Structure 1
Amino acid sequence: MLVGRDAELAEIDGLLAAATSGHGRALAIRGEAGIGKSALLDHAAARAAGQLRVLRGVGIESEIELGFGVLHMLPYPCADRIGLLPGPQAAALRAAFGQAEAEEVNRFLVGAATLTLLAELAAETPTLLLVDDAQWVDQSSMDALLFAARRFGADATAMILGVRDTALPFATPGIATLRLSGLPRAAALALLDRCTPGLTEPGRERVLAESAGNPLALRELGGARRNAEITGRIDPGHEAGPMAVTSRVQEGFRTQIGELPTGTRTLLLIAAADSGTDIGTVLEVAARHGLSNADLAPAEQAGLVTADSDRLVFRHPLIRAAVYRHAPHHERIAVHASFAEVLTAPGDADRRAWHLAAATTQPDERVAEALEQTAQRQQRRGGTMAVSAAYDRAGRLSVDPERKAHRILRAARAAYDAGNADRATRLAVEAVSLTGDLEIHAAATHIRAQVEYERTSPAADAELSLRAAALIADSAPDRAAFMLAEAVCCARDAADRDLLVRGAEQLKSLRLPANSPLGIHVAAQIAWADLLGGDPAPAVAVMSAQIAAAHGDSVDDLHKVVAAFSGLMLADDTATAAIMDELITGARAIGQLQWIPYALELAALAHLFTGSFGAARVAVAEGISLSEELGMPIEAAALRAIEVWLLAVSGDAAGCRALAREIMPGLSETHRTHAALATWGVALAELAAGDADTALDRLDSVCAGPAAHDFLIRAVPDHVEAAVRGGHRDRADEHLADFGRWADSVANPLAAALFQRCRALLAVGDEAAPQYAAALAHHDEHGGRYDRARTQLLYGEWLRRRRRRSDARSHLLEALDTFDRLGARLWVERVHAELAALGDLPAAARRTDPLAQLTPQEIQVVRLAAAGYSNREIGARLFLSPRTIGHHLYNAYPKLGVTRRAELARLGLEV
């Protein structure tokens, strides 16, 4: 029975109860070694017995480089269910387990497969996963487990991680934490008296002081004190002193180990050096050192290890650590060399390579090649941190300096792909220091650039990407084009004119092959410099050609993003949405989560400008969630800038301003384009509330700012409206000439409609009527509902002032209906005011979006369900379990007024 842990036990019992009722969640139990984490995991296993399926795993420090080791240990006994998973997920998990070959597996797809497999198991029997010493779990396994744990949702699954505090922080983002401290004095005393009765009073006090309430220390130090009291070997000069509790306990284990026979100590070292092998292999290695099973007996009698049917199990991980760390270096080398000689089966190739590396103290190309092969195998399994570790160690053992630089560079790239930015930067800098090879310098600099996007700013990324591309512009123009594409995109984010022009000039100097598919994209980004510099005429044709070519497998994801930005700049929002839908669909299919937030940003902007505010909210919500999960703070802030605009148009002026205040300080320094977007959103709220002067000043900062000629050119009509409504007609045309040039150049019906609206606002007398009529005709050609309703509102206001009451009412009612449908409450109130001025009572909302009551995730689910996708197919697309999809549908049906899936079709929901 555990003492002093009543609150912790209640927390665990609640976790298990929730899992059995279909509410999955995860918990990380943290604390120093010996504080009771393992005991709480054992309690969870005992309480779960007979109610939940229990899957257990443990991290081993010496095996942290072996990709998917712990994941293989956990659900592998149920691997026969892998065939039930969606095809790409099943293939990814089989590759991760080494059951099948794959060219390369995305780590997020392995996480999605892990979630689905656990959901399949939980559908049969509620399931509990227990992972002790999680800080030593290989990164590939932990990534997959955390990915799944954050999405348990309605699955009958619980996970408990035991995490030991170490010098290196071990993060478990998105997982609840339970931190253990030392036992209270009364509980510590009860445990001490139970484990080591008969201690003298001074002995008890000394142990209580030295243990600081640590249960393991209480047992071990108490036992040592009792032996000292029995034998009379008590050092009166010994004081508790500053030594850490863990160090005291480990020193006690070291003393016990030192009292064992030499052969027993060596056999324990063999067991400590590789826990992944069975006892037969341990004994085979032991035989090479002249040892046998008999040499194990003293350690078993001392209670340091136990032998089950196929494994040697240390009583506590600190014993293993004490055995290995305090063994002489030459003995460790000899043991690792023996393992390398014994592990000759093909399935042991990775383990053998690491033992060879541990037994090698000087550069050795044979061992380096073995580790490189391990890295390549892990690449095909999706174990990115295992790839990085293997390439890193291979580099250390390389004889040739150039091969060392190449391997360290590959280690840096794998670390970046694994999300370990600090390691990626360190290794990239080291690779550069090892060689004068320009291609290595360029690749390493580009890795640093990608890290800097989220760590510092898009401008920092652009600066480094320009530098990287310059190094290989002549030798590898295709790769330079990719680096420059990123540089120009980042310069655009930062609204940095100098960086943008430099990028365009470098693109102009590239000598791509005549038939290069990148040619059209390079030409388009060169054209960006013209358009974003205020000269759209020469840019439109080239950018339009790029947009038309941005479909299919021949276009990489980066250049699809480039084409989508071109679409926004030319007001071709439908094309942008289509390109991003294609990218998102493809990325979901293969688990490329890192691309999805950027694609959702562009999709949200496209939906925003077409008036599909519900779809924009869904995209923003998912994008923010993924950005935070993937450690992308700048991208999350960029998406929140879109949310500012959405809050404004929905009528939540207070929320709009609050969010803008929260994000603007950071965005103004990093992502100035979206900082201007957020400013525009706040100005909209002010304009609708009648504060035209304040709105005008804000809009002037947008329309005259560094990003004025980006998609933010569309803020000019609002600037004109604010100027006219505030009585500042002299300021209304400050930016109108630029807008007119843009509208003429893009030759887009929406642009033409907005320009005609501006002219109508500035028209004198009855000249406004034909301008409004022309604007509405262009709107009809374009089909955008939101901007058309904005024009109708203004026209209705003008007609009312001209006492054309019937015509005014007609336009105002149609605008009201559209705003109601779109949920644009910002403008509904203004229409109500106009109708009231006509003598009409403000009408209640006529029609609302049937999805308005749903959460963003429920909207995603019901739209896909309405399109005919099964729960399993929807789950695969959204990286959720089928049961969680069913839960969302169950919650959504009553909100939509339906009772079954088939009824969704009649609601006219579009994907």
Structure 2
Amino acid sequence: MLGRETERRALAALVERAASGAGGAVVVLGAPGIGKSTLVAEAAARAAGHGVRVLTAVGVESEEDVACAGLHQLVHQLRDGIDDLPGPQRAALRAAVGLADEAVPDLYLVGLAALTLLSDAAVKAPLLVVVEDAHWMDRASLDVLGFVARRIESDPLALVVVTRGLDDRLGGAGLPVLALDPLTDEVSGELLDAVAPGLGPQVRRRLLEEAAGNPLALTELPVALRSVGGAYALTPGPLPLTERLERTFTARVSRLPVDTRAVLLLAALNGDGTLDECLAAAARMLGTAVGVAALGPAVDAGLVAGWGMVFRHPLVRSALHHAATAAERQAAHAALAAELQGQPDRQAWHRAAATAGPDEHAARDLDSTAGRALRRGGVAAALGALRRAAELTADPSARADRLLRAAELALESGQPAVAAHLLAQARSLDLSVRDQGRAAWVGIALVEGSAQGEGTATAELAELAVGLAAGEPVLGLRMLWGAVLHCFWGEPGPDARRRVAAAVDRMPVDADNADLVALRAYCAPVERGRAVLESLAGQLERSAEDPEGDQLLGGAAVTVGAPALASRLTARSLDALRAQGRLSMLARALCVQAGSAARLGDVRAGHLAAEEAAELARETGQPLVHAMVHAIRAQLAAVCGDPEAEAWAAEAERTALPGGARPALAIVQMARGQAALCQGRYGDAFGHLRRVFDPADPAFHPWLRFYGVAELVEAAVRSDSAEAARVLLEELTPLGEPTPSPALLCGLRLGHALLSPPSAAEPRYREALDAVPVDWPFERARVHLALGEWLRRHRRPAESRVVLQAAREVFDALGASAWAERARQELRAAGASSPRRDLAAVDRLTSTELHVAQLAAQGLTNREIGERLYVSPRTVSTHLQRMFPKLGVTSRGELAAVLGAAMTYAEDVV
């Protein structure tokens, strides 16, 4: 432990936090032999001394593709608490770790179950969870552990993840990293002198040079030097340190008896298998009985710890692998496959490893393993199984099927480069018409969000989808979505859009199918707008039994310019998506909810949805959704006059611009335009907003621009660019004929009023006011403000004060501070005082605190709130403790009255 004082203090502080009731997580990162395990072992001993229970799990290379293998290790140690979990969590966790033969509804529900299980155990005694060799742990387990790690700040629970490399599985979790660097020259010399005193100067210098500050090298190379004369430890010439250390262990292995080497090789290949399995497989491989005594020489050689199957160091496992010939490894895998009856997944991987050429039997076994992995939520494990199955498949048709399924899973798990490689392999084969369609869908999905995709390919994919839908409606709809989303995110061109819309119309599914309604909205919201709005209104009348459908329909409503309808449809999906653990879809639903609130001017609701959507989009790996949420945050900030608007806009632009994600870029420019408009920078406002209407600009969007029509016209009128606004309205007015889009029609009517001569303006303003839907109070206040400004400028102050007062009250109630300030300025100019509204107590809460407060006010317990928000009950308690002083209350029983008063005021005004 020489030279590790800083790192030791950091881990000691983490342990002490857990012992005192607060939690946290850290990744211990470093090269092989750098001292990670020794450092963590000391922390574990310290934890035990503080009364902290220590749980361990170890990643094993041969089980990297066995879904939830690492999670199973942890759950097994806490199995007594599984029955106390809420029903959906209990079922999900049991299915994930193989205790029940059921499909896992969503891996995030498994994450919540693991969090609850650990949190409940930590209430009884603080916990330290140590995950060793995380670089070899299966992805599903690491995803669950990352989910847990981000939510344990308020629990007496510490998580330490030990790894050689910070790959995307850990780097994306955003955990603090404790990186172990090589020891300094001075400390290296001190350690070497302690383990190998009396070395000659030349040998000592050579060992220090070769070890390069690696503690394991400093302790093992002298041993190798003594035992084998330095032949492996000091091989002349350059040699990577890890390989040199492996050779020191290999040298010891080569001197062991045959049965000992066999047992060790089997243990290295068998992952977390038992000693009995390894001994039985060794007997099968050697054709003679092998007993536990075979381990004796390995213990004496310092390769294993005691008489179990625990290697002294992970490099021992690697050394055993390299010391064996290919034939020996295949024989060992075959022996293990024969012994692992009743364990089909492990058996399938060993059978595949024992196979050198094509083998359909082994391929089918791995295909079945992929299916079981998917049922347990192990997408990455299923991907690995299908890739290996494809390698073992000789039949071109079966090979293409497995390659395409693997490519689809690679897309789902956020690995586009892998998906592209698999797609290229599949396309090199003679594909059936069905597989050509699947390949086309994967290809279009790879460029989703890019404006550089080819319009012809998009249209052809849509037409192919219709042909396939007659026999395979699920596949046909999925392919059609790929084409339609390219129309939404990118710009395939008007001809491709028409062909896609025609394909949607020919889709052989029920007219009220949620997918079909949403597809029409996304690809042709003007041409099909009237039918879509009628369908959406009808969908609102049915019972809320399809959260996925409601999420799609909410997005469709935004696209056709009906934000209030979008908010209602999406709101119906939220509770069910939370209960099912479908956090990827929940992130998209909340994004729609936040965007609708921004357009409705409901700042409080918008912030609440946007904050949660941003966290979930990041956690579920959806960068385009994340960019959209940041753009919406910029819009919300602009509405309430928050100077952070530009920071959010720039953050969204950084993600959206490289991929040409037009919807996010359009919202960014509308946010900037609205902020400039409210600040009186009319020229800047016009410049930002005009980009959304310019087909040559990356921020152009043919439908989302409808939400910015009135703002653009006002900015144009006030910056001497009225003629440009008139040209624009002439272009857009005909679009109002085929669609009753509220956003478009409201924008056109107010735009025409703003451009009208004095003699015709007032009737136009009144028409615009009458046309605003009753469920869009912000838009009504927006028209009131414009009418009040016109009345004041035309020397009718008394009349202007009435409508300006109405506008200001609504803006205040919604939290649209920037617009409220404009109304106040006009009121003062009209001769009326209008003091600023004091900030309500509820507005001092963070979005998360407000969400917790609302649920607590409904009577939910901390545990029930935790289930809804995917946090631990103790975290809920922490939020409540923080918010009570802000609200001036002392108990949760007072929350309903405080929140109710704020909401009632807003509802009364609106």
TM normalised by structure 2 equals 0.91
1:750 Cα offset (Å): 7.2
* Alignment check: 8 A CA contact 1:441 1:468 kept: no
Of 315, 324, 343, which aligns to 1:318? 315
Residue in 2 that maps onto 1:4: 3
Deviations 1:636-670 (A, max 9, x none): 222222222222112135x3334434544653551
Cα–Cα, structure 1 residues 650 and 462, in superposed 2: closer, same or farther, change >3 Å?
A: farther
Residue in 1 that maps onto 2:427: 432
Residue in 2 that maps onto 1:418: 413
Residue in 1 that maps onto 2:378: 383
Residue in 1 that maps onto 2:645: 656
Residue in 1 that maps onto 2:907: none
Deviations 1:733-783 (A, max 9, x none): 33334555555655577766655544443444465444444444444x614
Residues 1:213 and 2:202 aligned together: no
Question: Distance between the aligned counterparts of 1:458 and 1:409, measured in 2?
Answer: 25
Residue in 1 that maps onto 2:713: 720
**Coordinate RMSD, CA, aligned:** 3.1
Residue in 2 that maps onto 1:836: 828
Residues 1:641 and 2:631 aligned together: yes
Residue in 2 that maps onto 1:222: 222
Cα–Cα, structure 1 residues 100 and 200, in superposed 2: closer, same or farther, change >3 Å?
A: same
Q: Which amino acid aligns with 1:251?
A: R
Residue in 2 that maps onto 1:845: 837
* Alignment check: 8 A CA contact 2:370 2:381 kept: yes
Residues 1:782 and 2:774 aligned together: yes
Q: Report the secondary structure of 1:305's partner residue.
A: coil
Of 798, 810, 817, which aligns to 1:806? 798
Q: Report the secondary structure of 1:545's partner residue.
A: helix
Of 263, 270, 273, which aligns to 1:267? 263
Residue in 2 that maps onto 1:710: 703
Question: Distance between the aligned counterparts of 2:439 and 2:873, measured in 1?
Answer: 41
Cα–Cα, structure 1 residues 853 and 99, in superposed 2: closer, same or farther, change >3 Å?
A: same
Residues 1:544 and 2:537 aligned together: no
Q: Which amino acid aligns with 2:242?
A: T
Residue in 2 that maps onto 1:871: 862
* Alignment check: 8 A CA contact 1:485 1:522 kept: no
Residue in 2 that maps onto 1:447: 442
Q: Report the secondary structure of 2:844's partner residue.
A: coil
Residue in 2 that maps onto 1:675: 665
1:138 Cα offset (Å): 1.3
Deviations 1:217-246 (A, max 9, x none): 000012233457xxxx56899677432221
1:586 Cα offset (Å): 2.9
Aligned pairs for 1:26-175 (under 5 A) are 26-49=25-48, 50-165=50-165, 171=171, 173-175=173-175
Residue in 2 that maps onto 1:401: 396
* Alignment check: 8 A CA contact 2:28 2:36 kept: yes
Which stretch has the larger CA shift, 114-123 or 479-488?
A: 479-488
* Alignment check: 8 A CA contact 2:709 2:744 kept: no
1:610 Cα offset (Å): 1.7
Residue in 1 that maps onto 2:605: 615
Question: Distance between the aligned counterparts of 1:724 and 1:396, measured in 2?
Answer: 66
Q: Which amino acid aligns with 2:137?
A: V
1:3 Cα offset (Å): 0.8
Of 478, 481, 486, which aligns to 2:477? 481
Give % identity: 35
* Alignment check: 8 A CA contact 2:639 2:674 kept: yes
Residues 1:505 and 2:502 aligned together: yes
Deviations 1:842-867 (A, max 9, x none): 51215x45432222222222222233
1:628 Cα offset (Å): 2.4
Q: Which amino acid aligns with 2:497?
A: L
Deviations 1:339-362 (A, max 9, x none): 222222x2x222222222222223
Q: Which amino acid aligns with 2:335?
A: S
Residue in 2 that maps onto 1:882: 873
* Alignment check: 8 A CA contact 1:524 1:543 kept: no
Question: Distance between the aligned counterparts of 2:746 and 2:468, measured in 1?
Answer: 48
Question: Distance between the aligned counterparts of 1:556 and 1:512, measured in 2?
Answer: 23
Question: Distance between the aligned counterparts of 2:498 and 2:744, measured in 1?
Answer: 26
Q: Number of residues paired by the alignment?
A: 889
Cα–Cα, structure 1 residues 461 and 158, in superposed 2: closer, same or farther, change >3 Å?
A: farther
Deviations 1:66-113 (A, max 9, x none): 221111111322122122223222111100121112134422222222
Q: Structure 2: any 5+ residue segments left out of the alignment? A: 905-910
Which stretch has the larger CA shift, 393-402 or 523-532?
A: 523-532
1:555 Cα offset (Å): 6.0
1:33 Cα offset (Å): 0.6
Residue in 1 that maps onto 2:17: 18
Q: Structure 1: any 5+ residue segments left out of the alignment? A: none
Aligned pairs for 1:547-696 (under 5 A) are 548-549=538-539, 557=548, 560=550, 562-653=552-643, 655-664=644-653, 667-668=656-657, 670-696=660-686
* Alignment check: 8 A CA contact 1:800 1:838 kept: yes
Cα–Cα, structure 1 residues 565 and 547, in superposed 2: closer, same or farther, change >3 Å?
A: farther
Question: Distance between the aligned counterparts of 1:236 and 1:743, measured in 2?
Answer: 81
* Alignment check: 8 A CA contact 1:207 1:225 kept: no
Question: Distance between the aligned counterparts of 1:480 and 1:610, measured in 2?
Answer: 35
Of 754, 761, 780, which aligns to 1:761? 754
Cα–Cα, structure 1 residues 60 and 234, in superposed 2: closer, same or farther, change >3 Å?
A: closer
Cα–Cα, structure 1 residues 704 and 670, in superposed 2: closer, same or farther, change >3 Å?
A: closer
Cα–Cα, structure 1 residues 511 and 616, in superposed 2: closer, same or farther, change >3 Å?
A: closer
Residues 1:338 and 2:330 aligned together: no
* Alignment check: 8 A CA contact 1:569 1:711 kept: yes
Cα–Cα, structure 1 residues 576 and 644, in superposed 2: closer, same or farther, change >3 Å?
A: same
Question: Distance between the aligned counterparts of 1:339 and 1:10, measured in 2?
Answer: 44
Question: Distance between the aligned counterparts of 1:753 and 1:268, measured in 2?
Answer: 76
1:61 Cα offset (Å): 1.0
Question: Distance between the aligned counterparts of 2:455 and 2:174, measured in 1?
Answer: 31
1:388 Cα offset (Å): 1.8
Question: Distance between the aligned counterparts of 1:340 and 1:896, measured in 2?
Answer: 63
Cα–Cα, structure 1 residues 613 and 226, in superposed 2: closer, same or farther, change >3 Å?
A: same
Residue in 1 that maps onto 2:242: 246
Residues 1:821 and 2:817 aligned together: no
Q: Which amino acid aligns with 1:874?
A: I
* Alignment check: 8 A CA contact 2:602 2:815 kept: no
Deviations 1:356-402 (A, max 9, x none): 22222232232222222222222222222222222222232234332
Question: Distance between the aligned counterparts of 1:712 and 1:154, measured in 2?
Answer: 44
Q: Which amino acid aligns with 1:834?
A: E
Cα–Cα, structure 1 residues 636 and 356, in superposed 2: closer, same or farther, change >3 Å?
A: same
Q: Report the secondary structure of 1:129's partner residue.
A: strand
* Alignment check: 8 A CA contact 2:28 2:162 kept: yes
Residues 1:797 and 2:794 aligned together: no
TM normalised by structure 1 equals 0.91
Of 871, 876, 886, which aligns to 1:895? 886
Cα–Cα, structure 1 residues 633 and 264, in superposed 2: closer, same or farther, change >3 Å?
A: same
Question: Distance between the aligned counterparts of 1:128 and 1:463, measured in 2?
Answer: 56
Which stretch has the larger CA shift, 126-135 or 837-846?
A: 837-846
Which stretch has the larger CA shift, 755-764 or 284-293?
A: 755-764
